[in-house]
Amino acid sequence: MIKSVCRIGRCALLLTIVASDITAQPASDASARRPHVIIITIDGFPARALKDPQLPMPTLRSLISSGAVSSGMLPINPTVTWPNHTTIITGVNASQHFVMANGLIVLPPDGSALKVEPWVDKDKLVHARTLYDAAAETGLTTGQVDWVAIYGANNVRWQFAEKPDVNDDIPKELIARGLVTHDQIEHFSQNSSSAWRDQVWTDAAVDIIEKHSPDLMLFHLLATDSIQHQYAPLTPAAYSAYAYADLCLARIVEAARAAGTLDQTTFFILSDHGFATSTHTISPNVALINQGLIQKKGDSYTGSAWVKAEGGVAELFIRDASRRAELVPKLKAYFATVAGIEHVYTNQEELALGLPAEANTDQAPQLYLAAAPGYSFSDDTTGELTRTNPPGGVHGYLNSMSDMEALFVASGAAIKPGIVLGPIPNLRVAPTVAKILGLQLPDAKQPPLLEILR
Ligand SMILES: [Zn+2]
């Protein structure tokens, strides 16, 4: 108890130091020194939460007052974690990077249900040049903690992964410092709370920043997503998660100060998507079973068409390409009649949403079902097609839904103070970071946010 009070007190002191250090930094000094960039994502933090004058996030407020904030950052479709984290560091959308879920969508050859495999090499999953690739190729150093779609990436020097490897340098350092045990690393996600994982990930990010000062650091906080899924956004539980994320954020800023790099560091505090509340669940696979496209065999199901639910959208894949001409119009017409489904897009129509063409990747769904507000999708194969549920948090909806708007705050060495932006696409983050670090991302076509840069 005393420890946590001290920690809060330390953060309050830190805020004063941060604000004065950042605002007092002359542009000429900042540009004369080697720049550092720290990108921090607070998973699922909804931009609309910023409108509350009692939002318990003093560190974020301090960084906003000394930097730039957007009224809402537009995520890409699908408004899901891995696709948007990938866009934040590539500057291209899913039509180019092909990340359509929290991992690689696998269509098993035996016709069984779709799977999403997260632990595949980044080179197989991400079809775009990343900021850390560009940084490493120009001799800059890189670090990441709990970033996603980054498994096996060669160009990350210091890391503590979402699924940490006890043989990596940073887990070894944390074990040596007594912050975590060997056993806890090996069973990191088993029976552990999202708050504890965020705490250890913050310990790891602090360790990397203080000891190794990477030029580019990527850091992802996740508890806000888990809590909002369970309890819905803007609830008392969600507010506690926002406040905790702010304490973690304060520790990152303090780590840059302890490393002596604060006056060269630019912080981007972002979220990957917003959150909405759902009270009805649609299970499209139940409809595919009813139509005979999925059959039960023993204890399992096999089928020629399967849906992968992503919250507010459902991605429908027809494995056999020869059946697509027959099934696409039939299933589009059917799902358009289901209450709670707002629109059904064919793959050709998905292109306007920034989704990939089926000719380019097997990650492109043949149909994309978009839920109406209050509805969401599940992968279930049993039960009713549509059921009511207690209010829960969902994302994945079309990026045109205002509840999906994400957080954008930039503050520190390269950023002008007191800038308030209207809506911006998250496609502009990577070009802005590239501009600060002097990197090239030729496929990222959106302009950097020059209006926020000193
Ligand atoms: Zn997320």
In a domain? residue 414: yes
283 and 333, same domain (yes or no): yes
Supply the pLDDT for residue 297. 87
451's enclosing H/E stretch is: none
**Residue (of 13, 34, 14) closest to 413 by Cα position:** 34
**Ligand 1 midpoint to CA 102 (Å):** 9
**Ligand 1 midpoint to CA 358 (Å):** 25
387 and 295, same domain (yes or no): yes
Q: What is the pLDDT of residues 285-327, one digit of tens each?
A: 999 999 999 999 888 999 999 999 999 999 999 988 999 999 9
**Ligand 1 midpoint to CA 273 (Å):** 6
**Ligand 1 midpoint to CA 22 (Å):** 29
269 and 291, same domain (yes or no): no
Identify the domain containing residue 291 by its residue range.
Answer: 277-394
Q: Which of 371, 394, 417 is the last residue of a domain?
A: 394
**Ligand 1 midpoint to CA 221 (Å):** 9
Q: What is the pLDDT of residues 243-298, one digit of tens each?
A: 999 999 999 999 999 999 999 999 999 999 999 999 999 999 999 999 999 999 88
In a domain? residue 99: no
331 and 370, same domain (yes or no): yes
- Is residue 62 within 8 A of residue 241, CB to CB? The reply is no
> Model pTM?
0.92
154 and 81, same domain (yes or no): yes
In a domain? residue 155: yes
In a domain? residue 117: no
The angle subtended at Cα 161 by Cα 364 and Cα 122, nearest 5°, is 30
281 and 267, same domain (yes or no): no
Q: How many domains does the chain have?
A: 2
Q: How far apart are CA 217 and CA 307, in angstroms?
A: 36
**Ligand 1 midpoint to CA 450 (Å):** 27
What is the three-class DSSP state of 340?
Answer: coil
**Ligand 1 midpoint to CA 257 (Å):** 28
**Ligand 1 midpoint to CA 410 (Å):** 19
- pLDDT classification of 372: cutoffs 50, 70, 90: very high
271 and 282, same domain (yes or no): no
pLDDT(17) > 90:
no
268 and 340, same domain (yes or no): no
Which tokens go with 411? 């503050």
141 and 43, same domain (yes or no): yes
Return the CATH number at 417. Answer: 3.40.720.10
The tokens 């959150």 sit on which residue? Answer: 275
In a domain? residue 379: yes
> Could you tell me which residues come within 8 angstroms of residue 233 by beta carbon, excluding any fewer than 6 positions away?
44, 46, 49, 274, 275, 276, 277, 393, 403
- Is residue 271 within 8 A of residue 45, CB to CB? The reply is yes
pLDDT(26) > 50:
no
312 and 390, same domain (yes or no): yes
pLDDT(165) > 70:
yes
14 and 135, same domain (yes or no): yes
Residue type, 146: D
170 and 216, same domain (yes or no): yes
In a domain? residue 114: no
Return the CATH number at 361. Answer: 3.30.1360.110
In a domain? residue 364: yes
Which tokens go with 435? 């501009």
In a domain? residue 103: no
